[in-house]
Amino acid sequence: MSRSQCFKHFLLCTKGFANTRLQTPDLNHPFPSIHFPKHISETSQQHSFTVSYLINNCGFSPEIALKASNGVRFKTPRKPDSVIDFLKKNGFTNSQINNIIQRIPSVLTCNPHKTLSPKFQFLFSKGVSASDVVQLVNRCPKILLVSVENSVIPSFELVKRFLRSDKKIIDCVLANRHFLDYKIASQNINMLLDDFGVKHSHITYLFRTRPSILLSNDLRRTVEEVKEMGFDPSKISFVVALHAKKGVSKLRWDAKVDAFKSWGWSEEVVLDSFRKHPFCMLGSKDKINEVMRFWVDQLGCDPLALAKMPKIFGYSLEGRIIPRSLVVQYLIVKGLRKKSCSFLTTFAVSEKLFLRDYVMRFEEEKFHLLKLYQGKISFRENKEDDVVSGS
């Protein structure tokens, strides 16, 4: 509906009392009494008053007010005034209140003491600060309307089985507002635990990384698919694979497969790498290409070699892959290590072991090796040094 159409509709709603002049509201009585002609129905009166209220009190445009009025009707300002007053007293700004009303206009007909206050008291009891409550309600205003006993508390208790921190629980529930319809999540969790033997700790992983997966209506189908791929439901790799298959859209999944194939991998190699290390499909397509490009163009190695250790695609290029490559390449140039592309294991070892075995053990070279490793010498500078030294 265009702006002009909306405004015409508003005028039609108020037809019959268009000549009634509204006095300028004072602070104590912002909404003067409106006397509607008898031929106007009570529903039309409610609609007209609601639209007027939203325009005058919330600063809504006529079209936004009309849209919001389709979800709420009231005859007097008593209830909406009490709701707005309650929200203001709890730290909400006018713009925040208006945003909440646009998203859930029916909140204006709530009883603040019976409907709104219990949610705030529950959140406060869990250690959530007043400012955090404002932020959480802005993120998920639906919480103002649902039942504390039948929705908020059961959702909280469900998540509490897996996350111990009250703050993490609240963030999880309100960041994924469908947890307030906790039944789907509860059914999916029971299915994973009872039907497939997924461990409690592995469901905790899903809560921490991608809780929305537990809210999927068709989760069983994806679980069956992952199991058929050869993943063991008792292993962490199972839920990681579930995360990858359910959390990555088909479009993005196919783009990543195509990225691998552009470097000479077959689809079978991609799937085999996914089975070895499902995290490799959680990175971006750009990250895949960056790692491949460095491995092939800078190190001159076979791209298929990376299929032996697909976890490399989860490592930081700048923070791990490049610095360790610089160190190994320098050792090769100095004859302290044989030239080979089979140094994949150097990326997997811990920081402590890498420093011990590839840096500190070479007493005469360790100063230069540390400079390489700490990024004080770039890959290009190191290659230039190689040329000068006759490598």
Per residue in 338-366, pLDDT tens? 776 567 889 999 999 999 999 999 988 98
CA torsion through residues 42, 47, 50, 52, sign: negative
List the Cα angle 124/125/127 in 5-degree steps: 65
Predicted pLDDT at 25: 42
3-state secondary structure labels for all residues of 70-119 = CCCCCCCCHHHHHHHHHHHHCCCCHHHHHHHHHHCHHHHHCCHHHHHHHH
Residue 45: which pLDDT band, with cuts at 50, 70 and 90?
low
Please give the DSSP secondary-structure letter assigned to residue 266. -
Tell me the average pLDDT across 170-194: 87
Kindly state the average pLDDT of the residues 40-60.
Answer: 76
Length of the chain: 391
User: For tokens 């203001």, what's the residue?
Assistant: 88
Contact 238, 231 (CB under 8 A): yes
What is the percentage of the chain residues whose pLDDT exceeds 70? 83
* CA nearest to 43, candidates 82, 72, 83, 11: 72
- pLDDT exceeds cutoff 60 at 41: no
Smallest CA-to-CA distance from 261 within 245, 250, 273, 248 is with: 273
pLDDT for 198 equals 97
Residue 302 and residue 205: Cα distance in Å, rounded? 34
Is the pLDDT assigned to residue 49 strictly greater than 90? no
Question: Taking the alpha carbons of 158, 162, 168, 171 in that order, is the dihedral positive or negative?
Answer: negative
Instruction: Enter the DSSP assignment of 300.
Output: -
Helix (H, G, I), strand (E, B) or coil at 295: helix
Query: Which pair of structure tokens corresponds to residue 25?
Result: 């509201």
Q: Average the pLDDT over 385-390 and give the result.
A: 38
Which amino acid, one-letter code, is at 57? N
Each residue's pLDDT tens digit, 297-337: 998 889 999 999 999 999 999 999 999 999 998 998 888 88
**Which amino acid makes up residue 114?**
K
The string of DSSP codes covering 276-323 is H-GGGGTS-HHHHHHHHHIIIIIT---GGGGGG-GGGGGS-IIIIIHH
**Interval 106-157: pLDDT, tens:** 999 999 999 999 999 998 998 888 998 898 898 889 899 999 999 989 988 9
Distance from the first to the final alpha carbon of the chain: 73
- What's the pLDDT band for 46 if we cut at 50, 70, 90? low
* pLDDT value, residue 360: 92
